[in-house]
Structure 1
Amino acid sequence: MTKEMFWELCKSSPVFLDGATGTNLMKAGMPAGVCPEAWILEHKDVMLSLQKQYVEAGSNILYAPTFTANRIKLKEYGLEDKLERINRDLVALSKEASSGKAYVAGDITMTGRQLQPVGDLSFDELIEVYKEQIKVLDDAGVDILIVETMMSLQECRAALIAAKEVSKLPVMVTLTFESDCRTLYGTTPECAAVVMESLGAVCVGANCSTGPDKMAEVIRRMAEVTSIPIIAKPNAGLPQIDKDGNTFYDVEPEEFAQQMDVLVENGASVLGGCCGTTPLFIKALKDRFESIALKDMERISRKKVGVRILTSERDICSFSLNDPFMIVGERINPTGKKKLQEQLRNDCLDMVCDFAQEQENDGASILDVNVGMSGIDEKEIMMKVLFEVTQVTNLPLCIDTSNVEVLEKALRWYPGRALINSISLEKGKAEVCLPLAKKYGAMFILLPVGENGIPNTLEEKIDNIERLTKLAKEYGLSKNDIVVDGLVATVGADKDAAVKTLETIRYCKENDFATICGLSNISFGLPQRSFVNTAFLTMAIDRGLTMAIANPSQELLINAAFASDLLINKENSDISYINRMLRYDLEDGKKAKPGMIYPDMESGETARNRTNFGDTAKNDNSLTNTDPKQQALDTIYKDVLSGNKRGIAKNTQNAVEMGCNPQDILNNVLMPAINDVGAKFDKGTYFLPQLIGSAEAMKLSIAYLEPLLKTSDSVQESKGTVVIATVHGDVHDIGKNLVVLMLKNYGYNVIDLGKDVESEIVVDTAIRENAQVIALSALMTTTMAEMKNVISIARDKKCKSKIVIGGACVTKEYADEIGADGYSSDAADCVKVIDKLIG
């Protein structure tokens, strides 16, 4: 199958996928804890029967049961050397079941190992893992690939890039979203849809985690930003436990199909079922939706015409030619910045992170990242900067380098849709860089410089724009992927420089090009340059300038931009201007400084008017408190909030050497800081990578303090012992590991038994260690019943430990139903629940 064939299939009527595999195999006798792929090959008749029923029910596409048949997952069962045989045989099984009446999809999912910088798995290694499986699936004869049940956008990217490099098969992608419409890693539906489409997925959507009624907003938000088909593959409602301890789902086939109405109305045209669904559910879908004519439902594309979208891993920056003006923050650039140059040479990224956060707080919409300078390995430093910057800001990045190798490395890793700065017609550059933009789904700045250098006339500049646009289209890029640089020259040397640039901007606006320019060139060599820059910017905005590369902390310049939008009546510009002016003290017109509140080290009172590092990040010399000891403590607080694993240990040592009490640092800085992080996570302003980063940073600070605390008279005793495990049959431990880290940081003695742990071992360990709490995690609905088993064993053995449960599939209602003492929705909440349980 080609992508064109798939899209043709989607045009006439909805495409029907299959339903659940795992829950149906469990019903057929597959025990918990075994390798599913190996069990299927030992019980082929079970799988053949199930998939034949799906074909009879109306499935157009069957998922081959290769879900976890990648090298990393198979290694957990000692089967990694059987990867090729397992994938080939499972595909053959599905092809036999389909009998040519349905297409067969090679099924791919997460590996369970976390990517750097959060985990230890490199992005390139993950791509190789996926390439290995995809190549076998392709050779085995699958018709299409499905990347499903994904929680990490970056892992989706790895799978798509891997597919591009070893296969021509079309790729479908579905992610699983939490109740706040974000993935576990904080990615929004819009962000996921844009990145997947830009990388070449033929359709995108959501599966698992919820029933049809709770998936509608995710589907609607995806459909509004993408032109490719949308998949909806929800569960059969919520998992329940019957009186015999078996898991079942609370929605019947007909009800399920009825609930799918809202998903179809919101844009879904590729329909199936996940956990708890059976062939009867697919038949109900087929009966209800088969006769719908898609063209009558306006679902071919709901994306607004002319909208361009850049993304980070977690959010999008959406703009059209008539939207308010945007700033591309220019400060992450060592040119002319001696201190930044020194830090980059010494592998210190403090200023880089501060610049990123400051520019976001000052109103930048995109951040330009340039590390080009002598005396460094640009590729190595660029990657380190990207690792750090993507952890401290949600803004999309503009990759600014003249080195093609650096550009490709950055685009390959960047976990979103980036902007390239820039591509021109200079000899050989476009032919190398345009394929990179296409492969990695990036937009690019079109620099209208030709083979002979900077154009001398407006006509020559326009000719370069048109030629490069035509070349971009030959590589599969469109006008919406382009932002034209107005090419600002110095008015001191060419009196018509401003006029030429303004005319270029006008031409671009009339011809549906987005535009950008660097402002500072216009005033080079003139006195009081800010006035010239500001006047030029207001004129450029009037001509239709979309964005400019500038320093967003330049008050006169940026405020003039907001005022310009207001005066030409851009949408919502009045509210934007008023909100911008709220940054100022109304009495003296000076910019107000945000405050931070946490216990003062020496007096025990509340200290105010310090920098709020969760919202703004200032250099140390901007802290309002001039006491060196207090500044040192402020810095540690900031390190926790920003996840500064590079410098927190050294900064903690510095505070101690200055005379700060180690116990006070723990109780009055680290604990309030991690509480602040938890609160931001609860509010949805921080996400899993930031939570992990902050917890890891705090861990490093505690590691330095621990020997000092042990020699102190006021050593804080352990708050209690917690035995924690992922339940038997479940090999997922991302959430469990984060809970372990958080509990240890909060002073608990944690005994981590790992994943897939026998229920009796959990209880016996708790009794032996006299644990106050047993904490259980499960990601899969098929393993939830083990939680009830643990509770039953604990009661039989008179275990006194309180039992707390959590995980992606677990609910408060389920916890109450099985008699758990507590339920936690996430790692930060688990600490609060356990604190409350044991007083």
Structure 2
Amino acid sequence: MSAILEALKDRVLLCDGAMGTQVQARSLSLADYDGHENCTDILSRTRPDVVRAIHEAYYEAGADMVETNTFGTSPLTLAEFGLEAEAFELNKRSAEIAREAQDKFKGDGRTRYVLGSIGPGTKLPSLGHVDYARLEASYAVQARGLIAGGTDAVLIETCQDPLQVKAAVNGVKIARAEANKAMPIFVQVTVETTGTMLVGSDIAAAATLMNALDVDSMGMNCATGPQEMGENIGWLATSWPRLISVQPNAGLPEVVDGRAVYPLAPDSFAHWHERFILEDGVNIVGGCCGTSPAHIAATHAMLTRLDPRRPHPKARSSVWMPSLASLYNQVPLIQENAFLSIGERLNANGSKQFRDLQAASNWDGITAMAKEQVKEGSHTLDVCTAFVGQDEKAAMTEVVSRLRGAVTAPLVIDSTEFPVLEAALELYGGKAVINSINFENGEEEAARRLELAKKHGSAVIALTIDEEGMAKETDAKLRVAHRLFDFAVGKHGLPASDLLFDPLTFTICTGNETDRKLAIETLEAIGRIRKELPDCGVVLGLSNV
């Protein structure tokens, strides 16, 4: 475990406040920005003294960690200023500047840290502004620079779109794998006064994906003051299983003499953080827009009053509910007093209506079918566009790009083709289900799909099929199920709750005496799977009977 994660297990840590607010207060000239107006990130090259002084001011105020001046330093964002070629070096240099500020305070008995800041950029993939692959590659470049500059962790902050977060997390994972470094990943989402992220995701939907992506910390920053964050931080306190952070603005901005003013005073700001610490058990506190070294100093004084060494985090009894998620909301895999219903009408192999709409490129008609299934009670929607004479990948792209913003039910991506699964998941900002894996052709294809599931935070349906074919008898079904469990959970790290077994049922009215008992074999297999692999789910297509 990294040093910063070890420290956070033991005590609450204080992050810095706003970088942009402090830069704007210095009345810099256009020349300071090398002609790139409002490109704060360029100051790490043109005015490192200014950036270093801001870091030092926050450390002096009592901060345990500062964020690098890299909020907009991904190649995609820098390209808006024609600076994309400088992305790696700007990130590396920004991290080094923060380290230089940190070095000034060595020897005083306190350990300080540097977080590599990764902002959301200006393009939201769930709204079609940018494709996933370009976004992930851009974040990988940024993360390489931050790692090379010596950051202790990466903070993906001010997130407004879960799909953007997924691209950033996976970009960081690519970079840290290349560097062979255990770089912790922290995420902070921004919830507007409407109660959701900008694209409409609630806190539970975002947390479902973050948990599936194995991020080390989740929290909130920006958009509002601490009071408006209280309800969602409370939800995280009772539900989120890992570290929690909170960095609010200094209240909601007010317009005074034609400019935005953040009204929350340092002492009131610190008081809110005390409540978050004592009531909600948060692990990291700090500030965002409108906060200053004075706000951090007041929070430092509060923390020192609670414990001169920093207070130990309050123990939380959080309960995480295994779930799926659409872009908008969370759907528990275990439904209270009901079963999880997977709507099957969006399947070109099973629905003539869907197949005809797909052939006619009637995407609005398909969207209407999806909405109708949700209205009738489907918790999730299976999507399969495979049909002779059709471009399966192109059709899947058209369908998912529309359904992701049109329905509240998570999607089950149903295809035998890996590129189709990958294309669909790169469009989806929720937590989907991959349908499916099996061992019919050995373990290689199943391994690729499980790696895809881990990357995109997806659950997986596993069919009890191996190299000998579809398991029909109960014992055979259990033998394959245990092998699938060991492979998916033990070898590839898929959470057991994200593994959904389909023990297969067969037609019983074939006229063959041996087939008449196949449904009983399936029912017995379901009972044994629930008993022997209790953390996993079971799904079944009853129409096959």
State if a TM-score over 0.5 links the two structures. Answer: yes
1:43 aligns with 2:66: no
- Partners of 1:450 and 1:468 in 2: CA distance: 9
Deviation at 1:302, TM superposition (A): 0.9
- Partners of 1:246 and 1:332 in 2: CA distance: 51
Name the CA shift for 1:30/1:187 in 2 (closer, same or farther; >3 Å): farther
Q: What residue number does 1:398 align with?
A: 412
Q: What residue number does 1:25 align with?
A: 23
Residue of 518, 524, 544 corresponding to 1:497? 518
Q: What residue number does 2:180 align with?
A: none
CA shift digits 1:384-436 (9 cap, x unpaired): 11111213211100111111222222223321111111222331232222221
- Runs of at least 5 residues in structure 1 that lack an aligned partner in the other structure: 523-839
Listed as ranges, the matches of 1:483-522 within 5 Å are 483-493=500-510, 494-510=515-531, 511-522=534-545
Contact 1:213 1:260 in 2 (8 A): no
1:412 aligns with 2:455: no
Contact 2:117 2:155 in 1 (8 A): yes
- Partners of 2:207 and 2:351 in 1: CA distance: 38
Deviation at 1:165, TM superposition (A): 2.2
- Partners of 1:322 and 1:466 in 2: CA distance: 27
- Partners of 2:465 and 2:128 in 1: CA distance: 42
Deviation at 1:327, TM superposition (A): 1.1
Deviation at 1:314, TM superposition (A): 1.1
Structure 2 SS opposite 1:104: strand
Counterpart residue type for residue 257 of structure 1? A
Structure 1 SS opposite 2:147: helix
Structure (1 or 2) with the larger CA radius of gyration: 1
Listed as ranges, the matches of 1:677-692 within 5 Å are none
- Partners of 1:112 and 1:398 in 2: CA distance: 29
Deviation at 1:450, TM superposition (A): 2.2
CA shift digits 1:563-610 (9 cap, x unpaired): xxxxxxxxxxxxxxxxxxxxxxxxxxxxxxxxxxxxxxxxxxxxxxxx
Structure 2 SS opposite 1:209: coil
Name the CA shift for 1:10/1:399 in 2 (closer, same or farther; >3 Å): same
Deviation at 1:322, TM superposition (A): 5.6
Residue of 430, 433, 455 corresponding to 1:439? 455
Contact 1:369 1:398 in 2 (8 A): yes
Structure 1 residues 36-45 or 143-152, which shifts more? 36-45
Deviation at 1:247, TM superposition (A): 4.6
Q: What residue number does 2:115 align with?
A: 105
1:177 aligns with 2:196: no
Q: What residue number does 1:692 align with?
A: none
Counterpart residue type for residue 492 of structure 2? Y
1:329 aligns with 2:343: yes
Counterpart residue type for residue 205 of structure 2? C
Contact 1:211 1:237 in 2 (8 A): yes
1:381 aligns with 2:395: yes
- Partners of 2:341 and 2:259 in 1: CA distance: 56
Residue of 353, 358, 375 corresponding to 2:367? 353
Counterpart residue type for residue 112 of structure 1? T
Q: What residue number does 1:149 align with?
A: 158
Name the CA shift for 1:496/1:485 in 2 (closer, same or farther; >3 Å): same
- Partners of 2:523 and 2:3 in 1: CA distance: 45
Structure 1 SS opposite 2:276: helix
Contact 2:381 2:411 in 1 (8 A): yes
CA shift digits 1:606-638 (9 cap, x unpaired): xxxxxxxxxxxxxxxxxxxxxxxxxxxxxxxxx
Deviation at 1:207, TM superposition (A): 0.3
Q: What residue number does 2:486 align with?
A: 470
Listed as ranges, the matches of 1:540-579 within 5 Å are none
Name the CA shift for 1:287/1:516 in 2 (closer, same or farther; >3 Å): same
Deviation at 1:175, TM superposition (A): 1.5
- Partners of 1:439 and 1:390 in 2: CA distance: 19
Deviation at 1:58, TM superposition (A): 3.4
Counterpart residue type for residue 507 of structure 2? T
Contact 1:71 1:83 in 2 (8 A): yes
Contact 2:498 2:536 in 1 (8 A): no
Contact 1:345 1:375 in 2 (8 A): no
Residue of 183, 197, 200 corresponding to 2:211? 197
Contact 2:473 2:518 in 1 (8 A): no
- Partners of 2:29 and 2:224 in 1: CA distance: 24
Deviation at 1:222, TM superposition (A): 2.9
- Partners of 1:225 and 1:469 in 2: CA distance: 26
- Runs of at least 5 residues in structure 2 that lack an aligned partner in the other structure: 31-36, 178-182
Structure 2 SS opposite 1:416: coil
Q: What residue number does 1:269 align with?
A: 283
Contact 1:213 1:262 in 2 (8 A): no
Q: What residue number does 2:57 align with?
A: 53
Deviation at 1:34, TM superposition (A): 2.9
Counterpart residue type for residue 249 of structure 1? Y
- Partners of 1:484 and 1:5 in 2: CA distance: 39
Residue of 297, 307, 311 corresponding to 1:283? 297
Deviation at 1:6, TM superposition (A): 4.2
- Looking at both structures, which has the greater relative contact order when contacts are Cα pairs under 8 Å and sequence separation is at least 6? 2
Structure 2 SS opposite 1:186: coil
Deviation at 1:7, TM superposition (A): 3.4
- Partners of 2:44 and 2:152 in 1: CA distance: 21
Listed as ranges, the matches of 1:668-679 within 5 Å are none
Q: What residue number does 1:255 align with?
A: 268
- Partners of 1:321 and 1:484 in 2: CA distance: 17
Deviation at 1:143, TM superposition (A): 2.3
CA shift digits 1:478-536 (9 cap, x unpaired): 211111213112222422222222222222333243211001111xxxxxxxxxxxxxx
Counterpart residue type for residue 521 of structure 1? N
Aligned residues: 514
Structure 2 SS opposite 1:172: strand
- Partners of 2:207 and 2:296 in 1: CA distance: 25
Contact 1:193 1:205 in 2 (8 A): no
Name the CA shift for 1:6/1:450 in 2 (closer, same or farther; >3 Å): farther
Counterpart residue type for residue 35 of structure 1? C
CA shift digits 1:243-284 (9 cap, x unpaired): 6x6654322222211112333323422211111222232233
Deviation at 1:64, TM superposition (A): 0.6
Structure 2 SS opposite 1:520: helix
Contact 1:57 1:279 in 2 (8 A): yes
Q: What residue number does 1:229 align with?
A: 243
1:216 aligns with 2:219: no
Counterpart residue type for residue 25 of structure 1? V
Deviation at 1:39, TM superposition (A): 3.6
1:72 aligns with 2:76: yes
- Partners of 1:358 and 1:147 in 2: CA distance: 37
Deviation at 1:63, TM superposition (A): 0.6
Counterpart residue type for residue 403 of structure 1? E
Contact 1:174 1:204 in 2 (8 A): yes
Counterpart residue type for residue 21 of structure 2? T
- Partners of 2:392 and 2:259 in 1: CA distance: 57
Counterpart residue type for residue 397 of structure 1? L
Name the CA shift for 1:464/1:322 in 2 (closer, same or farther; >3 Å): farther
Deviation at 1:293, TM superposition (A): 5.6
Contact 2:501 2:539 in 1 (8 A): yes
